[in-house]
Amino acid sequence: MNDAKGGGPDKPRAIVVGHGEFAGGLVSAVGQICGLADKLVVLSMMGKTPEDIEGAIREEIARTGARVIFTDLPAGSATLAARRIVKEDPGVVLVSGVNLATLLDFVFNTEVSPTEAARAAAERGKASLIVVGR
């Protein structure tokens, strides 16, 4: 189903899920900056039970072949749902605490597998957090 580059050249490579409109806003920003929003699937948690969230992520993995899940909060329901999925399928990678720098690095890094790209993107995302001023 998946090749090393993800679910196929025209398919999304990752699922982004978070609270409120977070995922949609983040992916919209990716689209505005580089036009690669179609490499990401947006899922909202609003009004969903943990089972609904887990089911929705599983559906998108099955539909797209994506092997990477980005979530916002480590304590969030989406992160817990994704960790259940990773437990069953260690080939899927979860990155929690996603930010815009992480996603931008990920969508451009097509020379490696999505899971490798996710690990590299997480490092870029960490490094993008800076504090300026006293």
Write down how long the chain is: 134
Does 55 engage in binding with another protein (CB under 8 A)? no
Does 134 engage in binding with another protein (CB under 8 A)? no
In the bound state with another protein, the residue whose beta carbon lies nearer, of 5 and 19, is 19
Number of residues lying near another protein (CB under 8 A): 17
Does 73 engage in binding with another protein (CB under 8 A)? yes
Site for another protein in 5-24 (CB under 8 A): 19
Write down the number of H helices and E strands in the chain. 5, 4
How far is the C-alpha of 112 from the C-alpha of 131, rounded, in Å?
31
Cβ contact 81:54 at 8 Å: yes
Cβ contact 85:78 at 8 Å: no
Give contact residues for another protein (rule: CB under 8 A): 19, 47-50, 52, 72-77, 79-80, 83-84, 87
